[in-house]
Amino acid sequence: MEIRIGEGASDEEARVIGSALAEHTGTAIEVYVGDGDAPATTADPPASDDRSATNGAGGSRASTTDGPTEREELLREEIADIEQGGPEKYKDRLDDQGKLFVRDRLDLWFDDGFAFEDGKFANFDSEDQLPADGLLTGAAEFEGRTLHAMANDFTVKAGSMAGKGVEKFLRMQQRALKTGKPVLYLMDSSGGRIDQQTGFFANREGIGKYYYNHSMLSGRVPQICVLYGPCIAGAAYTPVFADFTVMVEGMSAMAIASPRMVEMVTGEEIDLQELGGAQVHAAESGSADLVAEDEEHARELVAQLVTYLPDNSDEKPPRSDSRPPSRSPAGIDSVVPERPNRGYDMHELIDRVADQGSVLELREQYGPEIVTAFSRIDGRPVGIVANQPAQRAGAIFPDAAEKAAEFIWTCDAYNIPLLYLCDTPGFMAGSGVEKEGILEQGKKMIYATSSATVPKQCVVVRKAYGAGIYAMSGPAYEPESTLALPSGEIAIMGPEAAINAVYRNRLDDIEDDDERAAREAELREEYREDIDAHRMASEVVIDDIVPPSELREELAARFEFYEGIDKSLPDKKHGTIL
Ligand SMILES: CCC(=O)SCCNC(=O)CCNC(=O)[C@H](O)C(C)(C)COP(=O)(O)OP(=O)(O)OC[C@H]1O[C@@H](n2cnc3c(N)ncnc32)[C@H](O)[C@@H]1OP(=O)(O)O
């Protein structure tokens, strides 16, 4: 390198400047003075052995090497120790139970563990031998997305959570609020650490803050929870606060209290699976959205789940390539029976409308008379709410109404448009469902439908009786369209019930049985003419009657057209319905 210094500089000054620059830059320097043609001096960089001399500021310079220093090697050993987790005997127990050690689980999820980890050295200085405080947090790449993730280490005091672990969990949640990225919770925890409760149980920044943060994140970023073992007490709320919960059959369990505690309090002797295993929460409490066969299957389910979800509530859900449905749309009309009371499986219709392989049903066993499923139509994620005539004749029971309300609410939060496929005799009637709160739960479904601002399409597949048409986003619920198949009917109630309600006395006055039956049939037929799709279209109650084989194309076009539509709600703090 050449440099030129001012006229009048002495050779000694040129030499000092040259050698300082040569040492600093590591290259040879030719120093010219004034306009001179020949260099006044040439300075070579010091040989690498000499470079520990002094730097420009007079301080000492560390010797450099391309290999790891002792200091780094020591750090790596410390990290390797921490990554061993808790005592070997607990790892052997995991093996016996067919469960993965937490860091092997992270490798399964993210190829090579976290992209980066926070708080790995938690408890490093403590005598307690509780590596990372039994709770791992970090950031990860998953299926082409980046997200926050945590995982309990069951080898450390049964994954119980105390001071440092709680702090790590809270930090991760708070960071997710800033980054707007989804959060994945891989839970395997006996709850709060009972023998170290000071400092995390009731503090402002203690375990109670988890659920405050879950509430703040709810509807902002998707929260997905997978359960790998017991999740007791304080640990059991994370799965229920999450938007989506996956349980592994025979392995996961969640309960507000452990079997030991239950026995102490109530005298009931029960094992963990019976108390809160996957079947309990999938079929009876409704807290599990998906049930996996094993750890790998749980990952596969979440991999599918994220394909429908945006990173946060400001973003659109990701669009995929369009795929033809798995079954021909030409068969739709033949799926729907002529007689309104005949059962059929609504999945047969969904498979003819949705892109092949795109349907993921949530809470399948709970309230099965309504199907709630993510799917794609022409590559666009869509949430399907469909009555299921194969279950309880498609009548809406309280548990199904509550399930549908939460699904609609979740789709709306994450900008996923809604498709309602309506074939219901309405909400179930009777003393049993009154006691179970049919009005309360039905209200929630109607409220969720009313306040969802994503594009909504309602298709009256066959019957839409009673308040069923309200819950299923009928014309009064501001859907972008209400369509019907030719088999569709909309009525205040079904023909049998209506004729029974209005004509019972007059029919009873007819003494001849045949004559009475014929008159009753005639009245029903007249009634049905008044409620059928053509009458509804003629009165412009509905927007159109669609040839069944064109339903998929029609829906694709309508969802495309209404994408991003602005449907603001009245200005208020929030509704009072929960
Ligand atoms: C916020 C409020 C809360 O969350 S209060 C916490 C309520 N949680 C509980 O009552 C659960 C207590 N634990 C249990 O019932 C069992 O450990 C469960 C979770 C069923 C697991 O049983 P199992 O797989 O047989 O493990 P284990 O009992 O042998 O435990 C292994 C070691 O971990 C310890 N441990 C367990 N739970 C906690 C806990 N919550 N706090 C502190 N330590 C816990 C056990 O004492 C046991 O330790 P060690 O092997 O005896 O040294």
CA-based nearest residue to 82, from 149, 130, 152, 148: 130
Q: Is the CB of 193 under 6 A from ligand 1?
A: yes
| Range of lowest pLDDT (18-27, 36-45, 230-239, 452-461) | 18-27
What confidence tens digit (pLDDT) does each residue in 411-421 have? 999 999 999 99
Q: Whose CA is nearest to atom 15 of ligand 1?
A: 258
Examine the domain organization and report whether 273 and 422 are in the same domain.
no
Examine the domain organization and report whether 442 and 524 are in the same domain.
no
Examine the domain organization and report whether 102 and 15 are in the same domain.
no
Q: Cα(538)–Cα(543) distance, rounded to whole angstroms?
A: 10
Ligand 1: centre distance to CA 234 (Å)? 12
Q: Whose CA is nearest to atom 44 of ligand 1?
A: 157
Does 578 fall in a domain? no
Does 502 fall in a domain? yes
Examine the domain organization and report whether 457 and 412 are in the same domain.
yes
**Total count of domains within the chain:** 4
Q: Is the CB of 232 under 6 A from ligand 1?
A: yes
Examine the domain organization and report whether 28 and 88 are in the same domain.
no
Q: Average the pLDDT over 72-97 and give the result.
A: 97
The domain containing residue 279 runs over which residues?
83-307
Does 138 fall in a domain? yes
Examine the domain organization and report whether 172 and 278 are in the same domain.
yes
Examine the domain organization and report whether 294 and 333 are in the same domain.
no
Ligand 1: centre distance to CA 173 (Å)? 25
Does 202 fall in a domain? yes
Q: Average the pLDDT over 520-540 and give the result.
A: 95
Q: Could you tell me what percent of the chain has a pLDDT over 90?
A: 84
Q: Is the CB of 358 under 6 A from ligand 1?
A: no
Ligand 1: centre distance to CA 160 (Å)? 7
The pLDDT of residue 62: 55
Examine the domain organization and report whether 404 and 503 are in the same domain.
no
What confidence tens digit (pLDDT) does each residue in 395-413 have? 999 999 999 999 999 999 9
The pLDDT of residue 53: 41
Ligand 1, atom nearest to 235 Cα: 4
Q: Largest Cα–Cα distance of the chain, in whole Å?
A: 134
Helices 208-217, 163-179: axis angle to 10 degrees equals 10
The pLDDT of residue 302: 98
What confidence tens digit (pLDDT) does each residue in 16-67 have? 777 777 777 777 888 888 777 888 888 887 765 444 444 444 445 556 778 8
Examine the domain organization and report whether 287 and 146 are in the same domain.
yes
The pLDDT of residue 48: 53
CA-based nearest residue to 116, from 172, 46, 182: 172
Give the global pTM.
0.88
- Full DSSP string of 186-240: EEEE-SB-GGG-TTTSSSTTSTHHHHHHHHHHTTTS-EEEEEEEEEEGGGGHHHH
Examine the domain organization and report whether 499 and 473 are in the same domain.
no
Examine the domain organization and report whether 459 and 481 are in the same domain.
yes
What confidence tens digit (pLDDT) does each residue in 327-351 have? 999 999 999 998 889 999 999 999 9
Does 314 fall in a domain? no
The band of 233, judged by pLDDT with boundaries at 50, 70 and 90, is: very high
Examine the domain organization and report whether 524 and 487 are in the same domain.
no
Q: Whose CA is nearest to atom 27 of ligand 1?
A: 158
